[in-house]
């Protein structure tokens, strides 16, 4: 993708202000304990407690970032977040699994959340990309930031509602987690082909 600068100074909090540091080229978000966004289909609980620093989407676009996570506990994660409402949102997570693996995970919430594990990633760094276009969303990951693997393609229930994309971290089982999003790239328009690695 061609490089475009996202105005990080214009990011705003979704909900109450959280703890983050923002520089010219990166965002670090700190989550406290019991922090998550998840409407559990089994337990019936709904959490909207993880911090999300976001911007409103005004056009078809792609947002990618190098994600570095300070993993400590199961389900700690750095997250690219897509929000249309407290019951309509999605998360592209780089997450510590119960097996101790660092894993790409997608969560799509349409009233209740579903939760799907993807590939295991070696180390604590990965590239993640969200594409929001033509009322659909695509999640991709990459080990280099150049060749992209599709993780998920989906639509939320209210694509005409205000949509935002953000940076988040979570620690539902732990005492806290930090994630840094660097090399942030914003590209207007839809991907040319979501399945060919571009």
Instruction: State the pLDDT at residue 3.
Output: 52
pLDDT band for position 9 (cuts 50, 70, 90)? confident
Q: Where are the domains of the chain?
A: 8-188
> Helices (H), strands (E): how many in the chain?
0, 16
Query: Between the CA atoms of 168, 124, 27 and 108, what dihedral angle is there, to the nearest 10 degrees?
Result: -20
Q: What is the pLDDT of residues 60-83, one digit of tens each?
A: 999 999 999 999 999 999 999 999
pTM greater than 0.85: yes
Instruction: Give the 3-state secondary structure of residue 7.
Output: coil
Instruction: Give the 3-state secondary structure of residue 119.
Output: strand
Interacting residues of 193 by C-beta distance below 8 A, sequence separation 6+ = none
Instruction: State the pLDDT at residue 34.
Output: 95
Instruction: Give the 3-state secondary structure of residue 10.
Output: helix
**CA angle, 131 then 66 then 70, to 5°:** 125
Task: Tell me: pLDDT of 138 over 70.
Answer: yes
Q: What is the pLDDT of residues 153-178, one digit of tens each?
A: 999 998 778 999 999 999 999 999 99
In CATH, the architecture of 8-188 is Sandwich (2.60)
Task: Tell me: pLDDT of 185 over 50.
Answer: yes
Across the beta sheet with 149-154, the strand order is: 19-22, 26-31, 177-188, 61-69, 125-133, 136-142, 149-154
Tally Cβ neighbours within 10 Å of residue 123.
Answer: 9
* Lowest-pLDDT range of 6-15, 131-140, 166-175: 6-15
DSSP secondary structure letter of residue 6: -
């Amino acid at each position: 993708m061609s490089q475009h600068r996202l105005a990080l100074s214009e990011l705003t909090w979704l909900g109450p202000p959280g703890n983050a540091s923002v520089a010219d080229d990166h965002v670090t978000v700190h989550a406290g304990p019991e922090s998550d966004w998840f409407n559990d289909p089994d337990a019936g609980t709904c959490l909207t407690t993880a911090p999300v620093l976001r911007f409103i989407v005004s056009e078809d676009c792609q947002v990618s970032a190098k994600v570095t996570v300070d993993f400590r506990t199961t389900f700690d994660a750095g997250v690219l977040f897509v929000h249309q409402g407290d019951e309509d949102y999605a998360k592209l997570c780089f997450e510590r699994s119960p097996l101790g693996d660092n894993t790409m995970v997608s969560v799509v919430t349409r009233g209740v959340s579903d939760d799907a594990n993807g590939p295991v990633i070696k180390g604590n760094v990965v590239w993640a990309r969200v594409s929001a276009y033509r009322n659909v969303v695509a999640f991709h990951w990459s080990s280099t930031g150049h060749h992209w693997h599709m993780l998920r393609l989906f639509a939320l229930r209210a694509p005409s509602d205000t949509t935002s994309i953000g940076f988040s971290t979570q620690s539902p089982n732990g005492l806290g987690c930090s994630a840094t999003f660097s090399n942030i790239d914003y590209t207007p328009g839809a991907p040319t082909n979501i399945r060919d690695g571009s």
